[in-house]
Chains A and B, each alone.
Chain A
């Protein structure tokens, strides 16, 4: 230990030279609440002499104020940095700590144990090489022990330490330790860890932390710190060269460089590479850095490449070894860990962000959820916060990737909600779905433009949205009549002709409403492709879904008509008697009563039928279409 601490009289140059060539290990601590994670890290920092005098002073006063150790020094307070954490004595978010010993530098992620903060635990696990999973010797394995072990395995951590903590409170009994060890090893068999090391500990008392403890004479393994200093986490890494293009560097017309970080393999000037998805091949010309060109760039190096030929590449592309290119697909299977309070809805559009690009994506199918306690597969339609599932995804463009098990950077992605911009889920790609390799878009000679020309109109989708009874269908029908009179080809999609046929299998849960709108959107898009002016009349309460349909259409093909008639008026009309039933509780999930309606933020047209007569509204809409050139000459 002492070699890590610089002492008076040591040679500073020698110390720094050695320090600079140290290896770095990233690990995390996880496990259930109160298993002693923060105490363990606090203890490591304290024993590694990484706690400064002024911090120690604050720690002393904080221990008296918030400590859970009866006024004794509470090491957990060294790491629990947020006010709410100190007050409640729990860890809410992951904290990163840094320390070094004679042999290694360490970055520790101290992660929260409460189930509701699992996403913060996953944040810490995604960059770790080793996981320390704490178990309270008095409690044994808890659901969180299993959940965290599973997430560690899911995120590709290959070495775990099972730290059976608080052994002092169990009189350092070997049978207690062995019982927990056996149970854990049995549970962890399917998780595929490369090594599992079990250590009996007392983080508070310091047993088996730095050296083997005399209190556990029956334990013949390594103490924790020597283990961390010596564990070999290097991978037999023979993954081929990959570099996602982050940014195109173009200071002048004579220089065009592709900036990015090498995520696997290595690259040299003269190497044959391929730019994906375009598939253009060329050679690497130079590896440019501000400190001069490099002969070779290996994994984790941030560089700028110039290429021998003028090939077109931009942000989002992947530069890869020409002989071993990655796969590309718009459809694949992935494991998803859901991280948002709002549940995952199959069919809803999210933004998928991979290492260097964003692509609209939807989860087409939740194949099954995974029970983190038993690792059994469960059926389900949605994923709630902290749930894990195997899903099929469909993207609007093809993604270049490698499976996550082969390449962490090339196989990982996050999902972002398009409205809130929250990171709602994270995913690890398993494999491409076969069908996407076989389905190609046929470029037909007869196309939308030729059909529109034939019909003498520009096709578009008029999307009528509003509360039940607001007058959507009334106005839509009047518009259609008027257009028909003018000799235009039209069609109306509404609840009456869709709910009874195409969408007969759907109910009124949020998930079904999303799917309902998705199908209507797709059907409408085909009609627009056929050249028809299509009028869609649906309550369609969610902005996200309407937005998703809009984005599937070409520019100026989606015209949102918001029938803004207020709820009181619609309820008073109650043409079909539905509001009365909903108020009595006979209909569940009724929009405006016990299910929300999200008004459009930027509709092309807004009509309030309590102020404007339906005929007048229809006239205004037709005028709008005429003025924008949809009705031809």
Chain B
């Protein structure tokens, strides 16, 4: 419990910094302009009065303490401007120092933002690197359509890579499970593509707020010749001075969106009018409930088990990937502000919709060590 002396000392200090007179403060705390003066001269008060006064003092201190401008002036850079500038700086650094960079384009909202930033970074030139999409052949059909339209519209070089060994072995999420499918059709496919084209740096759209091992990763993340990440000996990364050097065969994964949060991404998409795959917006779609997750029936490769039924529901997706591994959420949000509103009100993180992260809390770190993005 606060003592009378402390109350008095805090009130006097508040008077010093805020310019309010002690009488005014006294009136606000005790409903009595001379109350504090009386206490100073040895007056007493009940524990209850003291408690009430202390509470009011807390509030008054917060309200009256001088502070940095709460909101920025209109011409100052907002935090989105700052994030944008940081990402552009990172992309230019790669292009200036690395011989053969590529941008991993996954068609999702983060990739959309990353590509938009690349258009800005090199304007009026086009981004001086190709886009690479690792196609597992299990992506939502709408994603593929969106990808091809966009590449054509922007006139960018798009390279699509699929693991042919996996195709020949008939690997898929329904037959082999999510772990095997992800490893062969995503991780191994990515490594094949990077080796094939000899890319020595690859941009990825990962953010540090997504997951705990991402939060630990550098912006310039070094990979050995066999694409492994060693989380225990990462290169120190100070200021914005980035070490881009690698030996032959080694490479760097570069994450220009490291410091963005999910909210930043959505706000930026809204501010900049960036096109996104319509699957992010709610619509009537055929879904099946399986193990508590709503899976969309995107094509006839999806087996319907006995007892399951396909229902038309208003759903949308918080993240996009292989359709059998991506859970839908029931929602009516079909505008950007509605999506953002829904995100802010929801109490689960965005990766929850991904079947592949669930197994164990260290699963992302393990996959990353093996070469997953």
Contacts and interface: CB of A to CB of B under 8 A. Distances in A.
Interface string A380-422: 0000000000000000000000000000110011101000011
A553 to B, nearest CB: 22
B92 A12 contact: no
Contacts of A291: 120
Nearest to B222: A421
Contacts of A126: 238-239
B136 to A, nearest CB: 25
Contacts of A426: 236, 238
A397 to B, nearest CB: 17
Interface stretch (A87-95, A470-478, A513-521): A87-95
B85 A289 contact: no
B100 to A, nearest CB: 16
B92 to A, nearest CB: 4
B68 A302 contact: no
B267 A259 contact: no
Interface stretch (B179-187, B258-266, B278-286, B304-312): B258-266
Given A52-B348, A93-B216, A304 B123 contact: yes
Contacts of B62: 226
Interface string B265-299: 00100110000000000000000000000000000
Max chain B C-beta neighbours (<10 A), residue from A12, A251, A302 = A302
B46 interface: no
The majority secondary structure among interface residues of chain A is mixed
B125 A249 contact: yes
A352 to B, nearest CB: 10
Contact of A81 (B88, B213, B349): B213
Contact of B341 (A6, A214, A247, A250): A6
Contacts of B65: 222, 226, 230
Interface string A225-261: 0100111111000000000001101110001010111
A95 B214 CA distance: 9
B349 A353 contact: no
Contacts of A421: 243, 245-247, 250
B294 to A, nearest CB: 16
B241 interface: yes
A24 B82 contact: yes
A78 to B, nearest CB: 8
Contact of A95 (B66, B77, B216, B362): B216
A423 B243 contact: yes
A23 B69 contact: yes
A482 interface: no
B168 to A, nearest CB: 34
Contacts of B49: none
A140 to B, nearest CB: 25
Nearest to B263: A19
A6 B77 contact: no
A92 B247 CA distance: 26
Contact of B84 (A97, A259, A302): A302
B95 A107 contact: no
A176 to B, nearest CB: 18
Interface residues of A, number: 96
Contact of B79 (A24, A251, A259, A409): A24
A612 interface: no
B3 interface: yes
A304 B122 CA distance: 9
Nearest to A257: B124
A98 B79 contact: no
Interface in A420-444: 421-423, 426
Interface in A75-128: 78-84, 86, 92-98, 103, 105, 107, 119-120, 122-123, 126-127
Nearest to A233: B68
Interface in B95-129: 95-96, 119-126
A290 interface: yes
A212 interface: yes
A12 B341 contact: yes
Contact of A412 (B88, B239, B246, B247): B239
Interface stretch (B5-13, B21-29, B30-38, B142-150): B5-13
B103 to A, nearest CB: 16
Interface string A36-70: 00000000000000001111001000100000000
A255 B125 CA distance: 10
B40 interface: no
Interface of B: 1-3, 6, 9-10, 13, 58, 61-62, 65-72, 77-82, 84-86, 88-89, 92-93, 95-96, 119-126, 208-209, 211-216, 231-232, 234-241, 243, 245-247, 250, 258-259, 261, 263, 267, 270-271, 337-338, 340-341, 344-349, 352, 361-362, 365-366
Identify the 9 closest CB pairs spanning chains A and B, nearest first: A81-B212, A230-B67, A6-B344, A290-B123, A126-B238, A302-B88, A251-B125, A83-B362, A302-B85
Given A98-B208, A229-B67, A246-B93, 9 more contacts: A5-B344, A23-B69, A52-B348, A93-B231, A122-B236, A211-B58, A231-B68, A339-B236, A413-B241
28 contacts: A12-B337, A20-B271, A53-B348, A54-B348, A54-B349, A79-B212, A81-B211, A86-B361, A95-B215, A123-B236, A127-B240, A155-B238, A212-B58, A214-B1, A217-B3, A220-B10, A226-B62, A230-B65, A246-B93, A249-B122, A251-B124, A260-B92, A300-B86, A301-B81, A409-B239, A412-B238, A414-B243, A423-B236
